Amino acid sequence: MGKKKKVILPPSLPPEVREEEIEVSDEDLEFVRGNKDFASFLTRLDTKSIDRHVTRVADQKEDDLEKLYEKRNKKLSLQKPADDNLLEIDPVDALPVKTLDGQLYYRAAETKSEKPKEEEEAETAAVNKADGDDKGFVKLTKAERRGKLKKMKKEAKRQAEESVDEAPANLHAAVLAKVEEDLSVEEVFVKKKNKLAEIGISLLEDPESNIKSLKDLLQFCNDKDHKVVKLGLLSLLAVFKDIIPGYRIRLPTEKELEMKVSKTIRKMRFYESTLLHAYKQYLLRLMTLEKEPSFKVVAVRCMCNLLDAVPQFNFSGNLLSGVVKNISSSDDVIRKVCCDSVRTLFGNEGKHGGQATLDAVQLISNHVKVNDCQLHPDSVEVFLSLVFDEDLRRSEPKEEEKVKPKKKKQRKNDEKENQLSGNGRKMSKQELVTKTREEVNADLKSASFVPTPEERRKIQTQTLAALFETYFRVLKHTIDPGVTRSNASSFSSDSSASHPLLAPCLKGLGKFSHLIDLDFMGDIMGCLKRLTGLSGGQDSSPGSRLSVSERLQCCIVAFKIMKKNLDALNIDLQEFYAHLYNLLIEYRPDRDQGDVLAGALNIMLCEGKQHDMQRAAAFIKRLATFSLCFGPAEAMSALVTVKQLLLKNSKCRNLLENDSGGGSLSGLVVKYHPEASDPNLSGALSSVLWELSLLAKHYHPAISSTSSWISTMATSLNQVHLPTASPQQAFAELSILRGSFFPPRKSPPSLNRKRKREKAAPPSGYLPENQAAAAAAGGEEAVIEKMEEHFTVVRDIVEAEKMQVELNRVSSWISLYREYKKEVKKKESLIKKKKRKGESL
C-alpha cells in the first residue's frame, strides 16, 4: 500500500466584520488629530490608481461582479509563464484560485535577479508584485514582507551559484569576448593584415604544399571589416595570377579516379582540383561583391586583371560576361578599366587562340541588342582595336597534304627493304621514329592553344559576322523614324543624344569596309545616303537629326568603301560632293569636330585626281571663304586643301588673277552664284580669290605665309613647292589643344616715344614709295603692334569700369553717411528744444 498524499488545507479566514458594526470612538479621532505625523503615509497614497480600481467594479451587481473576477483570473491563468521561471508563493500569503472544474491553483511569481543596495521601498514593491497582479485579495504585514524578501534573495543567490557551476565554459567564452572587444580596431586590422601576408608568401613560395591555405584566404573575403575584405581580394588576385598554369584544368572522370595511379599524379590531381575549386569560389565572391557599391571598383579591377593575365584558364566566359556587363558603366573609372581590358584581350590572341576574342565580340553584340543601342560610345569603340589577318589562305594545309604522300612512299619502300632482308614482321627504326614524332606532335597540338589555319579562318569569320551585325543594328536603329529625343541616352554629350553609338559605328565601318561582302555594299551606300539626308525630304530623313560631324563621317565611310572596292562598284558620288559643299557653311567649331572635317577634306578632295574643273573651282572658292571665318587650325586645313586642288587643276589658277570675272575664262563661264547648293552650278570660275589678300595679313604667321605662297602660284610656275601635308596634319599642328602658337610679345612703347613718333610721322597718303614698301614688308610686325595697343586699351577700359563701379559704391556709402548725420543732428536739436521748454516752464 502506498503512502497517502498529505493534503495541505488552506488556513482559516478571520471572522468577517461588517462595516456597519465598526465604530470609531472620540478618543481614536483625537489620537489621529494629535499625531498627524503617524498618518503621513496617507498623503503618499496613489489616489488615481485606487480610483481607477474602484471605478472598474463600481455600479456592478453581485452576479456581474463574480463573472468579472472569474474572467480576470482566467486571463491570469492563460498568461502564466513557464514553470521553470516561477516561484511558488506560500499559501499563507495568498489564497488559491478554484476553477469551474473544482481544481485549486496557487499563484506564482517570476524569479528575478537580486539587485545590490536596493532601497527599502523598491524591495517592498517587488514583494507586492510577486504576490500577484490583483491587489486587494490579501495584504501582508511588514514582518511577512521582510521574511518573503529574504526568502526571494536566498533563492536568487542559489540559482546564480548553480548557473555558474553548470556553465563555466560560457563564462570563459564571455571573458574572451570581452578581452577581444577591449583590443583596438587597429590592432586587429594589423594582425589580419600580417596573417594575409604570411599566407600569401607561403603560397607563392611553395604552392603545391600550401594549396590548402587558399581556403584561409577566402575566409578573409567574408570579414566584416571592409578594409580586410579588399586586402583579401587583392591578395588572392596576386596569388592566382602567379600560380595559375598556362593550360585549362580538366578534372579526372569517374573511371580515371578508379584507376591506380602514382603518388605524384595523385598529388597533382589534388592540387589542380583544390586550385580550381578555390578559383571558382573567388569568382563567385567577386560577382557578389560587384553588386555592392562599396566593393564594385575593387571587384571589377580584380576581374579585369584576371582576364588580362589568364584568358585561357577555366571560367573565362564568366569573367568576360562580368567585364562586358560593366563596359558601359556610368562610372568613368570602371568603364575605362573594362574597355582597356577588352582591348588587351583583342591584342593577346597568342594566349587564347582567338576564341576569347570571338566570345567578347558576341557578348558586346548581345549587350548592344539588349540595351537597344543606348550605351556609351566606348562600348563599341573597342572594336577598333581588332586586328584581322587578311592573308589566311589554304597554303598550310596544302603543304601538309604534299608531305603526307611522301611519308607513305617512304614507308612502302622501307617495308619492301625489310621484306627483302627477311625482317618484314618487325618495324624498322625509321618507322618507329616517325610514329613517335607523329604521336608527340598530336599531343602538343592538342595541349597547345595554337589553332590550325582552318580554325583561325572559322573564328575570324564568326568574329566579323558579329562585328558587322552590331554595326548594321546601330545603322538601322538610327534610320528608324520611331527613335525620338525622348529616348535619348545620358552618355552622349553632343546633339545626337538618341544615337550615341553612331560615331564609333561609322569609324568602324570605315576601317573594316574592305572586309564587307560585296553583296552588302549597295545596301550600305543606301543607308549612308539616308543618314546624310540625300534620299527623300529633309524632314522625313534621319539626316535632319544628325550633327555635322556625323554627316561628315557618313561621307568619309562612303568614299572609303568606294576607294577600296573601286573595281566592283559603279556608284556616282556627286551627291556626297554636293553634301560636303553645303556642310562647310553649317560647320561650327564649338559644336562640331574639326578633325572629322579635315579627314573629309583629305579623302574627298586631296586624295585621287580631280577631273571636274567646275567642282574643284567651287570648292577652292568655298574653302577660301571658310578660312576667313574660323580659327587657325580650320583655316590651315582649308588652305592646304586649296593648295593641293590648285596644284592638281592648273586651269583653276585663273582664280588668282586680278582681272574682273576670272581672267581669260570670264566669257566662257556663267556668273558666280555663292548661294548655290550644287558646286557644278556655282560658277566659281568667274570669281577671284580676293580672300587670300586678307589672309596674307593674318595674325598667325603660318596662315599668312601659306596664303601668300598660294597667291603667287599663277605667276611662278617653276617655283619650289612647300612640303605637302594633309589637312589632318595641318589641323593637328595648329590646334588650340596642342598649344604650339606663342606669338612674340613686345613691351609697349613709352608715352614720350609715342608722341615723338606721332609728330615725326607724316600722313599715310604722303608716304614715299620706299617707306610704303617697307611698311608692306613689315606688315606682320605692324599688325602685332596694333593688336598689342588694342588689347592694352581694352585692358585699360576694363580697369576703368571696375574703378567706376567702386567709385559709385563708395559715393553711395558717403551719401548714406551724410543723411545719417543729418538725422542725428535733427534729433539732437529736438532734444535740446524740449529741454529748453522744460527749463522755461
The CB-side HSE value for 220 (13 A sphere, CA atoms) comes to 25
Residue 452: pLDDT above 90? no
The CB-side HSE value for 474 (13 A sphere, CA atoms) comes to 31
618 vs 766, which has greater pLDDT? Answer: 618
Query: Tens digit of pLDDT for each residue in 705-748?
Result: 999 888 888 665 544 444 567 888 888 888 876 666 666 665 55
Can you give the length of the chain in residues? 841
Q: What is the pLDDT of residue 413?
A: 52
Query: Tens digit of pLDDT for each residue in 463-489?
Result: 999 999 999 999 888 887 554 444 444
| Average pLDDT of the residues in 36-58 | 64
pLDDT band at residue 169 using 50, 70 and 90 as cut-offs = low
Query: Tens digit of pLDDT for each residue in 63-80?
Result: 676 777 677 666 655 554
Distances (CA, A) of 243 to 271, 287, 420, 826: 11, 22, 57, 95
Enter the C-alpha cell of residue 299: 571587384
Alpha-carbon distance of 726 to 749, in angstroms, equals 41
Q: What is the pLDDT of residue 380?
A: 92
Q: 97 forms bridges with which residues in the sheet?
A: 105
Q: What is the pLDDT of residue 52?
A: 56
Percent of the chain whose pLDDT exceeds 70: 65
611 vs 225, which has greater pLDDT? Answer: 225
Q: What is the pLDDT of residue 251?
A: 87
> Picking from 47-51, 115-119, 255-259, 449-453, which range would have the lowest pLDDT averaged per residue?
115-119
Query: Tens digit of pLDDT for each residue in 358-400?
Result: 999 999 999 999 998 889 999 999 999 988 877 664 444 444 4
> Picking from 20-34, 361-375, 620-634, which range would have the lowest pLDDT averaged per residue?
20-34
Q: What is the pLDDT of residue 763?
A: 43
pLDDT band at residue 624 using 50, 70 and 90 as cut-offs = very high
454 vs 771, which has greater pLDDT? Answer: 454
| Average pLDDT of the residues in 195-216 | 89
The CB-side HSE value for 807 (13 A sphere, CA atoms) comes to 6
175 vs 674, which has greater pLDDT? Answer: 674
**Residue ranges of the domains in the chain?**
67-114+124-162, 572-733, 778-841
Sign of CA dihedral 54, 58, 62, 65: negative
402 vs 648, which has greater pLDDT? Answer: 648
pLDDT band at residue 321 using 50, 70 and 90 as cut-offs = very high
User: Taking all residues of the chain, what is their mean pLDDT, rounded to a whole number?
Assistant: 75
Cβ–Cβ under 8 Å, residues 63 and 71? no
Residue 771: pLDDT above 60? no
Left (φ > 0), alpha (ψ -120 to 50) or beta: where does 66 sit? alpha
Residue 769: pLDDT above 50? no
- The winner for highest mean pLDDT among 4-8, 226-230, 514-518, 541-545 is 226-230
Alpha-carbon distance of 56 to 68, in angstroms, equals 10
Alpha-carbon distance of 606 to 580, in angstroms, equals 14
Q: What is the pLDDT of residue 281?
A: 92
Residue 24: pLDDT above 80? no
Percent of the chain whose pLDDT exceeds 90: 15
Alpha-carbon distance of 673 to 679, in angstroms, equals 10
Alpha-carbon distance of 71 to 67, in angstroms, equals 6
| DSSP line for 329-386 | -SSHHHHHHHHHHHHHHHH-HHHHTTHHHHHHHHHHHHHHHHTTT-S-THHHHGGGG-
Q: Can you list the alpha helix ranges (DSSP code H) found in 696-778? A: 701-711, 727-733, 751-760, 769-777
**Residues 6 or more apart whose Cβ sits within 8 Å of residue 456:** 353, 354, 389, 392
Task: Determine which helix (DSSP H) or strand (DSSP E) holds 108, and give its type and residue range.
Answer: strand 108-110
Q: What is the pLDDT of residue 276?
A: 92
Alpha-carbon distance of 665 to 651, in angstroms, equals 9
Residue 835: pLDDT above 70? yes
Query: Tens digit of pLDDT for each residue in 101-136?
Result: 677 776 665 554 444 444 555 555 554 544 444 444
Q: 110 forms bridges with which residues in the sheet?
A: 86
> Picking from 69-83, 119-133, 420-434, 488-502, which range would have the lowest pLDDT averaged per residue?
119-133
How far is residue 816 CA from its own chain's centroid?
A: 57
Q: What is the pLDDT of residue 117?
A: 45
Q: What is the pLDDT of residue 360?
A: 92
Q: What is the pLDDT of residue 448?
A: 57
DSSP secondary structure code for residue 183 in this structure: S
Residue 774: count other Cβ atoms within 10 Å of its Cβ: 12
Q: What is the pLDDT of residue 303?
A: 93
Alpha-carbon distance of 671 to 684, in angstroms, equals 8
Calculated CA dihedral for residues 464, 465, 467, 472, nearest 10 degrees = 130
pLDDT band at residue 457 using 50, 70 and 90 as cut-offs = confident
Angle CA 505–511–517, to nearest 5: 90
Q: What is the pLDDT of residue 13?
A: 59
> Picking from 718-722, 798-802, 829-833, which range would have the lowest pLDDT averaged per residue?
718-722
- The winner for highest mean pLDDT among 150-154, 559-563, 585-589 is 585-589
* φ, ψ (nearest 5 deg) of residue 761: -75, 125
Q: What is the pLDDT of residue 741?
A: 65
Helix 548-564 crosses helix 502-511 at what angle (to 10 degrees)?
Answer: 20
Q: 86 forms bridges with which residues in the sheet?
A: 110
Look at residue 500 and give its three-state secondary structure.
coil
| DSSP line for 145-173 | HHHHHHHHHHHHHHHHHHHHHH-HHHHHH
| Average pLDDT of the residues in 28-46 | 73
pLDDT band at residue 296 using 50, 70 and 90 as cut-offs = very high
Residue 254: pLDDT above 70? yes
Residue 653: pLDDT above 60? yes
Whether the model pTM is above 0.85: no
